[in-house]
Amino acid sequence: MKSGSHRLSAVALVAVALLALAGCGGSSDKPSGSRDTSIDATPMAQAPTPPSGAKIIKVTLKGDSVTPKGEQVEVKKGQPIVFQIDSDVAAELHVHSSPAQGIEFPAGQSQAQVTIDQPGVVEAEIEETGTLVVQLEVR
């Protein structure tokens, strides 16, 4: 019966390995191998002038109110997109591009720049609340 106990041990090892892998999977909706790019917004007093041809998107976060509210904004592939943020709290603007880009911004006025190189619709939301700010139509 030695081979039966070896078979049972092998099955148990496979089951443990599968459970361990399932636990590491998490609920992330990111494709494997993708990573978030973290960007720190620059306080407006120190922010550089946006480059020529940049799409400027003004974002205001005051209390529970966020503007814009899910507007669709057309941008060109590779065009600089400058978020000018005026917020009463520090938070993160999460741009669901590939790779995703997380913009950490302080309370007050700040600015951050991103580019998107793949055509499609890319959502940007306030990470903490899941509030949709803009849908970037990248062409």
Question: Who's near 128: CB < 8 A, 6+ residues apart?
Answer: 91, 92
Domain boundaries, the chain: 37-138
37 three-state secondary structure: strand
Q: Report the 10 Å Cβ neighbour count for 3.
A: 7
For residue 106, what are the CA distances in angstroms to 60, 89, 130?
A: 12, 7, 18
Q: Is 120 left (phi over 0), alpha (psi -120 to 50) or beta?
A: left
pTM: 0.75
On the question of pLDDT at 31 being above 90, the answer is: no
- Give percent above pLDDT 70 in the chain: 75
Q: Return the pLDDT at 35.
A: 57
The token pair at 66 is 């966020």
On the question of pLDDT at 11 being above 60, the answer is: no
Q: Return the pLDDT at 12.
A: 38
DSSP state, 12?
A: H
The token pair at 119 is 């055509």
Q: Return the pLDDT at 50.
A: 97
Cis status, amide bond into 68, omega within 30 of 0: yes
pLDDT digits (tens, 9 = 90+) for 38-85: 999 999 999 999 999 999 999 999 998 999 999 999 999 999 999 999
Q: What angle do CA 64, 125, 128 make, to 5 degrees?
A: 55
Domain 37-138 has CATH 1.10.3720.10: no
